[in-house]
A and B are shown apart, each in its own frame.
Chain A
Amino acid sequence: MHAFGQYVIGGLPFGGIYALAALGLVLIFKTTGVVNFAFGAMATASTLILWSVLQHGGLPFAVAWIVAMAAAMGIGALCEMTLLRRVERSPVLIQIVLTLGLLLVIEGVAGTIWGYAPKAVPRVLTGSPLSVARLLITPNDLFIVGLTVALGLALFAILERTRAGLAMRAIAADRGVAKLMGVRTRRYVTAAWAIGVAISGVAAILVAPTVGLDPSMMDEIGVFAFAAAILGGFGSLAGAVIGGFVIGIGSNLIAAYISTNLQLTLIFAFIIALLYVRPQGLFGVEAVSRQ
């Protein structure tokens, strides 16, 4: 039982990372109806910028982090304004393929600039593991979990309690009507992309020390984040966070008790089975047809 508890704890940091990545995806999907398949590459690019700032600037980690966040927001906003805006009323297929094309371009550009050799990014917190009821957790892992929950709550508060959040929810409900009501839809859609990519960027910065930073670092993380978002219903922030932790803990348990190489297989088998039974995910309200 103690071992089981430790495996659950061990799944928490990756759960937080999947949750953050899924949060970024869900925020963009909620406001624009576009699933950003390029989010992993965008997040990785901003982490590579963080690495460059750390390497060449000699600046503190916090400053590099801020630069990376600004870069992520810039990438998100730029892609929305130049490309995604043009296909906002196109079929889903076109939007998916466009973001996949972006994925290739960004990964390729990142590979050309930074190369494909893995790079080391420092952890946010160092220090020996803390012991709580004989279960061990490192301060860095605790930080990841705390940051995930805090960002999730902050995003929730913004969406539910502020005027900007109201505007975003109005756009999500019906963009045309929101526009008629005087909501500056363009501005908020761009903002959603900027913030969404930045949140995914946080996930990339947090995971980089563990998996090693290279241009395709987020490919596999991204797939788990998709699974988390689907589990959470793809429209729910709380669902994305819970989905992320479920996937993180679940895959750690699979690694511990079944096989380290079958995590993706079993989780996707579960996701496909779940979608078959409950197409709206665990926390989705209803299946809405945009047809």
Chain B
Amino acid sequence: MSGIAPREPRVKNRLVVAHKPSDQVVALLTFGAVALCFPAFFGGDSYTMSIATEAVIYALITVTLNLLIGFGGQISLGQAGLVAVGGYAGALIGAHLGGFPFPLEVLAAGLATAVVGFFLGLPTGRLRGHYLAIATLGFGLIVPQVATNWSSLTGARDGLIVNAPQIGSITFGGPVSLYYATLAVAAVAVAALLAILQSSSGRAFAAVRDSEHAAAAMGVNVWRTKVTLFTTSAFFAGVAGDLFVHLEGIVSPDSFPFSLSLFFLAAVVVGGLASIWGSIAGGILLTIVGAKTSGSGGLEPVIIGGTVVLLLLLSPGGLAELPRRLLSGIRGLSLRELSLGRRRISFRGSIRKVRNRA
């Protein structure tokens, strides 16, 4: 069987893509320049700006989900549930504490969601694979249902009105100022995530992902690492949730369907596992796909689902692998590559390489 086949170069087999530092600088400059200049070209169009803001938020959520899946090896089908918790937390703070400064509100929403993420992470020490997928799927469905029933707090189906973010007397009411406020928070969040991934926690996440037994043997507390992972991911998902409800102007249970969780999962796959920049690109790309196909019924799920299926079969590294594939020339698209059936996708990497990842 496959044991006899010659070892293929690692780069092709890897699901996890390692970026060189120079790639990172290019990615940072590209995303940064496009994001900062975007309103200069489209600032007059409030619809375009709201899509752009949504793209920033979805990119951040995709990154938080990729932290779980790509960097931590823990699947979640309920990320929209965490986003919802953050959204409600932010909305409630805004509703009950008028004039609460926006940065603190974002932090508080993140912290509230982190608490939920901590409890969601507790059973993960014993759950993996399909069980974890189904448990998180259940979580994602429970949050809107609880929000529907807890009407005294959440306003049930009517939801809560969310005011524009403000710091002191400055209000980020217009589409462009809201975009920049969102972008600033998202940028800080991504920077913080990158820092976490470079730290010992980030290496512990990868170690647990690659082999729980090996990680334990190296002195990593597997369970604590997983709980930390879920808590961290939840914190940033909560931050994104607060940004999300400010964009929507309202938070209601219907804003967080299961399909939203699937959307983020698809964005992670499209962007490539364990690639922050890939996730940002994947989140933005799928937001554009969603905006272009909205109102066309079945087209959006077909495009998104079809892309996911094809990418998984043809380029498991997602978009993040694309530049490398293009650079490596025709070989990257050879017929041999396409026959995935005989090929093992490896989900392993070495701890040493984590430093270059992200």
Contacts and interface: CB of A to CB of B under 8 A. Distances in A.
Interface in A72-96: 83, 85-87, 89-94, 96
A29 B309 CA distance: 20
A165 interface: no
Interface centre among B148, B302, B341 (most CB of A within 10 A): B302
B248 interface: no
A42 B289 CA distance: 24
B298 A234 contact: no
Given A101-B312, A104-B305, A275-B131, A110 B298 contact: yes
A104 B131 contact: no
A268 B130 contact: no
Interface in B190-236: 211-213
B42 interface: no
A269 B142 contact: yes
Interface stretch (B17-25, B176-184, B262-270, B321-329): B262-270
Interface in A215-270: 215, 219, 223, 226-227, 230, 234, 259, 261-262, 264-265, 268-269
A154 B235 CA distance: 49
B141 interface: yes
B344 A89 contact: yes
Main SS class of interface, A = helix
Interface in B328-353: 340-341, 344-345, 347
Interface stretch (A51-59, A111-119, A189-197, A199-207): A111-119
Contacts of A226: 134, 137-138
B137 A109 contact: no
Contacts of B305: 100-108
Contact of A261 (B2, B148, B312, B344): B148
B304 A104 contact: yes
A244 B73 CA distance: 30
A209 interface: no
A223 B136 CA distance: 11
Given A97-B265, A261-B148, A91 B15 contact: yes
B141 A223 contact: yes
A104 B341 contact: no
A87 B307 CA distance: 16
B123 A261 contact: no
A176 interface: yes
Contacts of B301: 104-105, 107-108, 111
A118 to B, nearest CB: 15
B302 A108 contact: yes
B90 to A, nearest CB: 22
B1 interface: yes
A279 interface: yes
Interface of B: 1-2, 15, 69, 73, 75, 77, 122-123, 126-127, 129-131, 133-135, 137-139, 141-142, 145-146, 148-149, 211-213, 258-259, 262, 265-266, 269, 297-309, 312-313, 316, 340-341, 344-345, 347
Contact of A100 (B126, B138, B297, B308): B308
Interface centre among A92, A100, A106, A279 (most CB of B within 10 A): A100
Interface residues of A, number: 54
A92 B130 contact: yes
B133 A35 contact: yes
Interface in A111-139: 111-113, 115-116
Interface centre among A105, A107, A226 (most CB of B within 10 A): A105
Given A109-B298, A111-B301, A264-B142, A100 B262 contact: yes
Given A262-B149, A290-B129, 12 more contacts: A89-B344, A91-B15, A96-B75, A103-B305, A104-B262, A104-B304, A112-B298, A226-B138, A230-B131, A259-B149, A275-B131, A279-B131
A271 interface: yes
B302 A94 contact: no
Contacts of A37: 133
A29 B345 CA distance: 21
A94 B316 contact: yes
Contacts of A111: 297-298, 301
B309 A271 contact: no
A269 B266 CA distance: 26
A116 B137 CA distance: 23
A183 interface: no
Contacts of A98: 308-309, 312-313
Contacts of A275: 123, 126-127, 131, 135
Contacts of B129: 92, 96, 290
Nearest to B133: A96
A91 B258 contact: no
Nearest to B293: A108
A153 interface: no
A35 B130 CA distance: 7
B3 to A, nearest CB: 11
A269 B212 CA distance: 27
A273 B287 CA distance: 36
A272 interface: yes
Contacts of A104: 259, 262, 266, 301-302, 304-306, 308
B259 to A, nearest CB: 8
B188 to A, nearest CB: 29
Contacts of A279: 126-127, 131
